[in-house]
Structure 1
Amino acid sequence: MRIKGLLRRVTRTNVLVAVGVFVVGSLIGVGLFTFIYAKGISYLFNDPATCANCHVMERHYDAWIAGSHSNVATCNDCHAPHDNIIHKYVVKADNGFWHGLKFTTGQYPENIEIRDSNRTVTNEACLYCHADFTSDIRMTAGSDQINCTRCHSDVGHSTR
């Protein structure tokens, strides 16, 4: 008798709620596990070793250490915007999403290349940090954007 009474109380709505709670809970659980496993909190800060969390980036990290900027600039100094903190974290979130997706699925090229949007950020970082050196060049270039990485592509970390 008790089982029949319980079965009558189990409605379609209750089942849908239970399935919904299970699905949402599973997504949150998997998301938290992935965030912790991937050391996600470290990406909110400025330690260059964070970039080597992914084995694919170890070569770039080692090249940065041996490069000309390791004593004066971190990864974020060159690869994150300097204009405001919101833009910085929007770019970091965008990069984090694409890096995470590509590394998780294994769909990244052996020779990793910078995206155009990131090249723009890096170029603007060069101009920001080297404003004293580039002010005369910028005056002669007029409205044309100076492309620092075109000639200085291996300055931060040459992987050749």
Structure 2
Amino acid sequence: MSGTLRLLWPVLAIITIGAALGTGGYTFIYAKGSSYLTNDPSACANCHVMQAEYDGWIKSSHHEVAVCNDCHTPHDLAGKYTTKMKNGYRHSFAFTTGRFEEPIEIKKSSLDIVEGACRSCHGNIVEAIDGPHREGDARISCVRCHADVGHQR
């Protein structure tokens, strides 16, 4: 490596790292990134895609007893933030590239988390009705019949 190139390499690396950190920091601030680390439901309505879900939650019976994270993230700390990270990345990528569905549709992995949350809070009721609420060997999902409970339409 020549002397000039050897001196230029660290400068280019610093400029590249600085640009990446600056862009990332600006995006984090512009997108209200720190709000997603909280338990505040208004963070879920930061983008217009989720406004209908937020408004529906405000009108729902769960408004007084549960926030978004209670139903849409696992209750253990690692699971909660892993899920928030995965969904946050997927949502921000879809929103930034315009590849999102309106109204937004819940993914299978998220539906499993919601189902677990229903059963966690309403376990005594669910156990009593699980027997008759089956299709073959499979349990019927709570949200199949109670889809509007958390987000009233």
Distance of 1:87 and 1:145 partners within structure 2: 24
For 1:35-114, list aligned pairs within 5 A.
35-82=28-75, 84-114=76-106
Distance in 2, matches of 1:109 and 1:146, equals 26
SS of match in other structure, 1:92: helix
Distance of 1:138 and 1:88 partners within structure 2: 27
1:31, distance to aligned residue in structure 2 (A): 0.6
In the TM superposition, what whole-angstrom CA distance separates every residue of 1:48-94 from its partner, at most 9, and x where no partner exists? 11111111211111111011211111011110112x11011100100
Q: Deviations over 1:16-44 (max 9, x none)?
A: 22111111111111111111111111111
TM-score normalised to structure 1 length: 0.85
Counterpart code for 1:25: G
Aligned twin of 1:3: none
Deviation at 1:145, TM superposition (A): 4.4
Q: Structure 1 runs of 4+ off > 3 angstroms?
A: 137-141, 143-146
Q: 1:157 is matched with which residue?
A: 151
Letter in 2 for 1:38: A
Match of 2:119 in 1: 127
TM-score (norm 2): 0.89
- For residues 135 and 110 of structure 1, do their structure 2 counterparts lie closer, same or farther at Cα, with a shift above 3 Å needed? same
CA distance, structure 2, for counterparts of residue 120 and residue 152 of structure 1: 15
Counterpart amino acid of residue 117 in structure 1: S
Unaligned runs of 5+ in 2: none
Instruction: Describe the SS at the equivalent of 1:11.
Output: helix
- Unaligned regions of 5+ residues in structure 1, if any? 1-8
Count of residues in Structure 1 that have an aligned counterpart in Structure 2:
150
Amino acid at match of 2:26: F
8 Å Cα contact 2:73/2:83 also seen in 1: yes
Give 1 or 2 for the bigger CA radius of gyration: 1
What's the CA shift for 1:97?
A: 0.5
Distance in 1 of aligned mates of 2:17 and 2:49 = 32
Backbone CA RMSD of aligned residues: 1.9
